[in-house]
Amino acid sequence: MPEPASLDASTLRPLADAVPAERRTAAIERRRQALDDRKRAFLRMVSHELRTPLNAVIGFSEILSKELYGPLGSPQYKEYATIVHDSGLKLLKLVNQIVEIARLEGHVTDIEMTPENMDEAFEDVIDALDAQIRQREVIVHVVAQGTLPTVLADSRGLRTMLTNLLQNAVTHSPAGGVVHVAAARIGGEVEITIRDQGPGVDSAELPRLLQPFEQGGAILTRGHEGVGLGLPIVDLLSRAMGGRLKLSSSLGAGFLARLILTAA
């Protein structure tokens, strides 16, 4: 009967080394998962603790501004209630953007990729921004509307990206200006373009605009509100979905955003 093959030291050493390596890898993965769980818990807590009182401020100030339970007396009270309501909405938007940036930079955003029709996505976004579009007296022209392609994207994330890009274009467009929106399939990708007729920015400034809290134009001279989170959110979301954001602009030549996603 043949004797079993002997295991010398040179044979045992790789086996012994492999076990600790596997354990280290598993321990690192457990720590990473625990850290992600703590990040998610922290963001949920912050989101809840900030949004809950803000929603109360917004809701009650709206009741007061509309005098739903009777007149307030002095017209100034109604004016102040309206200011409180509008300020609450702006602050809530800021909180939402900061929480979204924290989620994306911490890689704790849940992305669910599904086929998304661009016609439906643009319709939802334009409807949501209708009041701002009318207030700015801007025309939004969707090229080849009704025949736009389908992309593979997270539904909420896609609409967040389109909202930020379209809102940016509308905000910086002159009264009577036209924002051109298009989406075309190129190979296995879909290129979504949003072009405005605004003042544009120096091309050297474009990389800076993808950093949180950065804005085009001097802080003291720019004529629009915002804290510079819209484009960074689009950039981070697009990368989380396997896509990319490209910006083109020059002074006096408007602003072009190209969002490239995987075709469905």
pLDDT in tens, the chain (264 residues): 455 555 555 555 555 555 577 877 877 877 767 666 676 677 777 777 888 999 999 999 999 999 999 999 889 999 999 999 999 998 998 888 888 888 887 776 789 999 999 999 999 999 999 999 999 999 999 999 999 999 999 999 999 999 999 999 999 999 999 999 999 999 999 999 999 999 999 999 999 998 887 665 443 334 455 567 899 999 999 999 999 999 999 999 999 999 999 999
Locate all alpha helices (DSSP H) within the chain, ordered by sequence.
Answer: 9-65, 75-105, 118-128, 130-136, 155-171, 206-209, 230-240
The kind and range of the H/E element at 194 are strand 189-196
Can you give the pLDDT at residue 107? 74
Q: Does residue 2 lie within any of the structural domains?
A: no
Q: What percent of the chain has pLDDT over 70?
A: 83
Question: What's the whole-model pTM score?
Answer: 0.75
Q: Give backbone dihedrals phi and psi of 37, rounded to 5 degrees, phi first.
A: -65, -40
CATH number for the domain harbouring residue 177: 3.30.565.10
- The separation between the first and the last C-alpha atoms of the chain, rounded to the nearest angstrom, is 63
Strands 150-154 and 113-117: antiparallel
- Give the domain-ending residue among 88, 105, 122: 105
pLDDT tens per residue, range 188-210? 999 999 999 999 999 999 999 98
- Residue 6 inside a domain? The answer is no
Residue 28 CA to residue 90 CA, distance in Å, equals: 41
Do 187 and 146 fall within a single domain? yes
Same domain, 56 and 173: no
Domains in the chain, number? 2
Show which of 105, 128, 150 is a domain's final residue.
105
CA pair distance 250, 256, nearest whole angstrom = 10
Same domain, 58 and 126: no
**CB-side neighbour CA atoms (13 Å) of 195:** 13
Enumerate the β-bridge partners of residue 249.
255
Q: Are residues 69 and 148 in the same domain?
A: no
Domain presence at residue 5: no
Does one domain contain both 36 and 70?
yes
Structure tokens at 248: 């083109």
| CB contact at 8 A, 162 and 121 | yes
Does residue 24 share a domain with residue 117? no
Tell me the residue range of the domain where 18 lies: 11-105
Q: Are residues 190 and 82 in the same domain?
A: no
Same domain, 230 and 182: yes
Q: Map tokens 């544009």 to a residue.
A: 200
* One domain, residues 101 and 38: yes
Q: Is residue 168 part of a domain?
A: yes
